[in-house]
Structure 1
Amino acid sequence: MGSSRHQHDGQEGWETPAVDDDHHQSTDKVMVEAAFKSTPVPPWTQQITLRAMLTSLVLSLVFNFIVCKLNLTTGVIPSLNVAAGLLGFAVIKAWTTTLSKAGLLKQPFTRQENTVIQTCVVASSGIAFSSGTASYLLGMSPDVASLGGTGNMPVNVKKLSVGWMIGFLFVVSFIGLFSIVPLRKIMILKYNLTYPSGTATAYLINSFHTPKGAKLAKKQVMVLFKSFVFSFSFASFQWFYTGLDGCGFSNFPTFGLQAYKQKFYFDFSSTYVGVGMICPYMVNVSLLVGAIFSWTLMWPMIERKKGDWYSADLSPVNLHGLQGYKVFIAIAMMLGDGLFHVLYMLIKTILSLIAKNSRKDSSVVDPAGSDLDSEASDYDQFRRTEFFLKDQIPNKVAISGYVILSVISIIVVPFIFHQLKWYHILVAYLMAPVLAFCNAYGCGLTDWSLASNYGKLAIIIFSSWVGLENGGVIAGLASCGVMMSIVSTASDLMQDFKTGYLTLSSPRSMFFSQVIGTAMGCILTPLVFWFFYKAYTLGDPNGTYPAPYGSLYRAIALVGVEGISSLPKNCLSLVIAFFLAGFFINLIQELLMRYETKLRIYRFIPSPMCMAIPFYLGGYFAIDMCVGSLILFMWQRSNKQRATDFAPAVASGLICGDSLWSVPAAILALLNVNPPLCMKFFTVAQLNELLKES
């Protein structure tokens, strides 16, 4: 969720730091640790406190609802690190202030404890991403299988239940933590990787715990609270007008009914306005460009070929009709984008490792921790290195943990998914550490996590290996979960090690808070998902929760087991064209970034990954996000400093309030309490027809 630590299929490396990075990087060596010189650093056992864990549990529940709703609507998830750090600070600060006034405070609130809360919350809500409840797990369900394709035979469908989902997550989600621990000193100290999200979060937490930062944090909390109340109230107000399907503000034909039919309208979603305020401008513009290109040009053109390219009798959601073009072309563009970034990261990682290892005059700290006094060139680096090396996690423990958990997983997973055999999982775990290293290293350089791309690669490999008749669809989707869990949690943990390094938090407290947060996520994520699963219809492209990645991931598995023969007419040509377009658009952007420095044209090239998302969903959420960008742009023009200080808080409040209304709304739906009103729009001709019929 991280940062954007994850490429949430539609989102990759999107981070809006809550602080001015250039300013902090220029003053960091002089000021940061000097400000905390007189503040004692608690031992790691006192950094993980009961109040921190209780706060983390409550915030994890809140964030799981938010991420689950975003996953089930568009899959576009912004960075929630800022909100996690800010809310963690607000809750504990309010508690300790109250106890202090009563004379009962025994342990002061430290930045290390704040870091533990942030790590735990982000680890827990990160499971909502890697768990695949809205992607590969949902893709196994009978609901998604019934939408089309030939792979909906019993062996390629699995009924969802909370029990086996929690068991599966517990078996596969912890292994990635052990896969990367032995490399922590090399990544953080020897190679001194940036990990932009981890660094930005550390600066945020450090600033909260200085006198000036504490004052700003209090103001940010108040702004977040006001934004939250507005968003929650507006969402509850909208609910009253949604008595029937197609009713309410979310179906307001902002640009006319014809544009509405092509999914172009503003749906008054505070969530995606807030998401738009956090995501970079080019992400939102790319979404809008993709929506305009697909829904105003490409899909109408293909629809005119009905009866020629595909049968006119097919249902709108059948993958052998227009829906197939939407799904497979979107997947192709995403895979082209993903392939470029995987290759780019591999090449960049190899070149960077060669350059660093061949550099004889390296001034970075040796991972063994020798000659610290001479090699730590300033006070901050010396202090941080001292505490980072203080509480070690033995490599033998990490390696033993990986082996033991892998063996458990190899034994247990085939009982959950009989389509996967023990040797399939063994191969996945032999591949995973290499991919986890590449992902964690690349994330340290660029803040881009490619976990979902490695997961899609696993789908194609294992689904084709197992075959359609033997349950290749389920095998591919389950192997995606195995691979994504390792690769995703590995980069998350290294981000947290970087945050801990910059806040003098113990590596042990970071590791154990990540473990605790992961355990919370393994329980909370399936429960929250099940809440939505029982209250709403998930996976319907025209419903409230279309859950686009359930169909997309299943379609990837179907391609793996069925081959290209399953595609509609001319779909293969379009798939190849858009796959190459996704690859070469990134290549052109990278070349312009390197060799064209005057006009910086690369800034105006849209992201293929982002363009592909509206191919399937439409442009309504892209318009919401562009409205968020417009609000941020106007705010920055009028008062840049206030926008920098408070925009993340406003955005977080909008997201939290609107998303949390889904909880009482779902409870009302479960109790069969329906909204009393319906607000719907018709043309004059349609209205006259209705009046005549009545």
Structure 2
Amino acid sequence: MEEEGNGKGEEAFRNTRVPPWTKQITVRSVVTSFVLSLLFNFIVCKLNFTTGIIPSLNVAAGLLGFAVIKSYTTLLNKCGLLREPFTRQENTVIQTFVVASSGIAFSSGMGSYLLGMSPYIAAQVDGGNTPINTKSLSLGWMFGFLFVVSFVGLFSIVPLRKMMILKYKLTYPSGTATALLVNSLHTPKGAKLAKKQVALLFKSFCGSFAFGFFQWFFTAGDGCGFSTFPTFGLQAYSKRFYFDFSSTYVGVGMICPYLINVSLLLGAIISWGILWPWIEQKKGIWYSADLSPSSLSSIQGYRVFTAIAMMLGDGLYHCVIMLIRVAYSLITEHLKKKESLHPNPDDVDKIPSADLDTQRRTEYFLKDQIPSWAAFSGYIVLAVISIITVSHIFPQLKWYHVLITYLMAPILAFCNAYGCGLTDWSLASNYGKVAIIIFSSWVGLENGGIIAGLASCGVMMSIVSTASDLMQDFKTGYLTLASPRSMFVSQVLGTATGCLVSPLMFWFFHKAYKLGDPQGSYPAPYGEVYRGMALLGAKGFSSLPKHCLQLAIIFFFLAVFINIVRDLLVHYETKYRIYRFVPNAMALAIPFYLGGYFAIDMCIGSLILFLWEKKNKSKANDFGPALASGLICGDSLWSVPAAILSLAGASPPICMKFLSSSVNKKVDTFLNGGP
């Protein structure tokens, strides 16, 4: 774990004054952050309600924050009204605020565990559809729940910041990459490149928005529009293999690694191309032919529980491996430095100051302390408030259940933050899934185990997720000389904004569309998947259709096996790097439920980036994220006027459908007045 600094990073800013932490958080940065938070919350909510795949939006947040403030300050400067220049510390504050806010849109569970509590999702899942195992969604209790659970994680990890950043020098790849971006933007060369990137982002944004508007005119009914175009034929379309002209997922595909996109496509081929057609031949043998295809006792049960098994296998494997890695790393540090297993984080005198970068960064990182007593007190007070409030909102989850969650959470938050520093993997959702199984089985189905499991998932995810996000931000602040206090305050402001905005965004979608409909525009797949996990924990394996358990066990161990093979190849095989071709187990599992249409979109995004890199790799690296961000933002933002039109009762003028020749002849005959 070597320091990233090469001795030149801070040389470019030697003569630049670093403002005090109170000047790093300005009115203009807070206003800009709030506006961008609205946009990014909307994007994350839309992704939650479609496929649940959320790419890293740090680069887009940093770039857009730079563009907005830079335009504003340039205009004021020309008018002679600029009082304070735009600094990289202020840029870091904006990025932290926006990412913290949009992170709540994910960890809040609006598209997963909270949605899984609703009676609508419960009606789709056989078993457990009883009043004690459902909870009607309303803004009041969602606001209360998020505000009491989302801030606790921030206080759980603050006392360890110096140990993580200074003593162990954890890399935090996303935090480091964001810092390098912010630092480069505030140099003359970087600002010139940023101007071109922003121009491309604006063009792709406008094009994506306009294309979304154009597509709307052809969607006057179910199954209408470009999104139902049978790209590979009607037979492939019936198996959910088609390109649905989604600019959002083309952009997401450009951001996600090639391996993820190919794994998604491979998972779709294995499930919808091979496995599900084979199981459908067992209709009337393995499951009743009279059941609805959406029933979990029919083919849908195999889809959902096989996906759950793979996700659990992948999640449990990574949890165990992460614990082993953290323990191994700590023991190695102990032996290497001959210190205790729990070193004093305040003992920074022994930290080597090898160059200008390290000296300057360490100086500013230690300048504004956050007292440990304040962090401990904050955690205890907030945990007590949360225990009382959560057990009141969810009577199925008793106060001692929540207490045990808060006793476990700091350890898991440390492991997640430490592991994220080593690998850039946040396992918050995996810890949440483990909590679902533990607490739903503990409470039992007849006592509301499904709601208890889903609520405990929310408590666990919120703590573990915000802890790792904050440590990423501390790393970014360390490399940009932003004060830890300004980082913490901006994280708090962003979290508060997310707790306020995310439920409102959810309610907007909830009123305009039928969230969780497997055949609708927003299937919100994780709502049913998370409820299926809770049902599995509360009811046991009796909830599964015939032979589904055997199939789930096979895919559970397949996910474990895939991860073992990949880790062994990474460790022992370095010549040919075969591990690059081992699929990602989690990505394999997602299409089992949804199909392959979005995987095709994302693979097209990968293909665009691949061809661009072949032509000019430098330009692709510089401008690829800007193009992708514009595609995502434009298409996602079109959802706002589309939803408003839907709420207002306005209908598109045209329905464009694709029919087989035989069906088309019948339609023509009917329209012509034939028999």
TM-score range, shorter chain: over 0.9
Deviations 1:208-259 (CA, angstroms, capped at 9, x unpaired): 0011111111111001000100000001000000011001000000000000
Confirm or deny that 1:177 pairs with 2:154: yes
Alignment partner of 1:31: what SS? coil
Matching of residue 477 in structure 1 with residue 483 in structure 2: no
Match of 1:368 in 2: 346
2:522 is the counterpart of 1:542: no
2:356 to 379, 389, 403: 379
Q: Which residue of 2 aligns with 1:110?
A: 87
Give me the whole-angstrom Cα distance separating, in 2, the residues matched to 1:368 and 1:300. Answer: 61
Q: Is the 8 A contact 2:160 2:345 kept in 1?
A: no
Name 1:663's counterpart in structure 2. Answer: 640
CA–CA distance in structure 2, aligned partners of residues 100 and 581 of structure 1: 60
Aligned to 1:159: 136
Over residues 291-341 of structure 1, what are the superposed CA-to-partner deviations in whole Å (9 max), with x where a residue is unaligned? Answer: 001001000000110111011111111111110000000000011111111
* Equivalent of residue 453 in structure 1, options 425, 430, 434: 430
User: Match for 1:38 among 15, 18, 42?
Assistant: 15
Structure 2 residue 502 is matched with structure 1 residue 513? no
Give the equivalent residue in structure 1 for 2:547.
570
Q: Does 1:462 align with 2:439?
A: yes
TM-score (ref. length: structure 2)? 0.98
- In structure 1, the gaps of 5 or more residues are 1-21
Q: In the alignment, which residue of structure 2 is the partner of 1:422?
A: 399
2:314 matches 1:337: yes
Q: Which residue of 2 aligns with 1:491?
A: 468
Which digits, 9 at most, give the CA deviation of each residue in 1:586-614, with x for residues without a partner?
Answer: 00111111112222211101111001000
Deviation (angstroms), 1:370: 4.5
SS state at 1:266 partner? coil
Q: Distance in 1 between matches of 2:588 and 2:659?
A: 31
1:88/1:114 contact within 8 Å kept: yes
Alignment counterpart, residue 389 of structure 1, candidates 353, 366, 369: 366
2:418 and 2:628 map into 1 onto residues whose CA distance is 30
Letter in 2 for 1:96: T
The alpha-carbon deviation at position 289 of structure 1 amounts to 0.2
Task: Specify the alignment match of 1:618 in structure 2.
Answer: 595
One-letter code aligned to 2:47 = L
For 1:242, which of 199, 219, 225 is the aligned residue? 219
For 1:503, the equivalent position in structure 2 comes to 480
- Supply the AA of the counterpart residue of 1:569: K
What code does the residue aligned with 1:668 have?
Answer: L
- Report deviation, 1:371: 3.6
Q: Which runs of 4+ in 1 moved over 6 A?
A: none
1:374-414 deviation digits (Å, cap 9, x = unpaired): 82010000000000001000000000000000000011111
For residue 494 of structure 1, report the CA deviation from its aligned partner. 0.2
Deviations 1:5-40, CA, capped at 9 Å, x for gaps:
xxxxxxxxxxxxxxxxx9x95xx4232111101111
Change in 2 beyond 3 A, CA 1:383/1:361? farther
Cα offsets for 1:555-576 (capped at 9, x unmatched): 0000011100110000000000
Contact 1:391 1:506 in 2 (8 A): yes
SS state at 2:375 partner: helix
Is 1:320 matched with 2:297?
yes
- The separation in 1 between residues aligned to 2:447 and 2:538, in whole angstroms, is 10
The separation in 2 between residues aligned to 1:348 and 1:380, in whole angstroms, is: 29
TM-superposed deviation, 1:368: 2.5
Residue 691 of structure 1, CA deviation? 2.2
1:369, distance to aligned residue in structure 2 (A): 5.3
Give the match for residue 208 of structure 2. 231
Contact kept in structure 2, 1:189 and 1:366, CA below 8 Å: no
> What is the CA deviation profile of residues 526-548 of structure 1, one whole-angstrom value per residue up to 9, with x for unaligned ones?
00010000000111111100000
Q: How far apart, in 2, do the equivalents of 1:375 and 1:305 lie? A: 67
| Alignment match of 1:592 (pick from 569, 573, 580) | 569
Tell me if structure 1 keeps the 8 A contact 2:167–2:348: no
Instruction: Quote the Cα distance in structure 2 between the aligned partners of 1:150 and 1:371.
Output: 60
Deviation sequence 1:125-179 (CA, Å, 0-9, x none) = 0001100000000000011011131101011110001111011000000000000
2:389 and 2:573 map into 1 onto residues whose CA distance is 53
Alignment of 1:598-677 (within 5 A): 598-677=575-654
The residue type equivalent to 2:227 in the other structure is S
- State the distance in 2 between where 1:212 and 1:622 align: 37
* Superposed counterparts of 1:93-132, under 5 Å: 93-132=70-109
State how far apart, in whole Å, the 1-side matches of 2:6 and 2:576 are.
Answer: 33
Q: Which residue of 2 aligns with 1:692?
A: 669
The residue number in structure 2 matching 1:77 is: 54
Deviation at 1:262, TM superposition (A): 0.3
**1:595-653 CA distances to partner (integer Å, 9 max, x unpaired)?**
12222211101111001000000000000000000000000011111101000000000
TM-score when scaled to structure 1? 0.95
Q: Tell me how far apart the structure 1 counterparts of residues 35 and 399 of structure 2 sit (CA, whole Å).
A: 37
One-letter amino acid of the structure 2 residue matched with residue 309 of structure 1: W
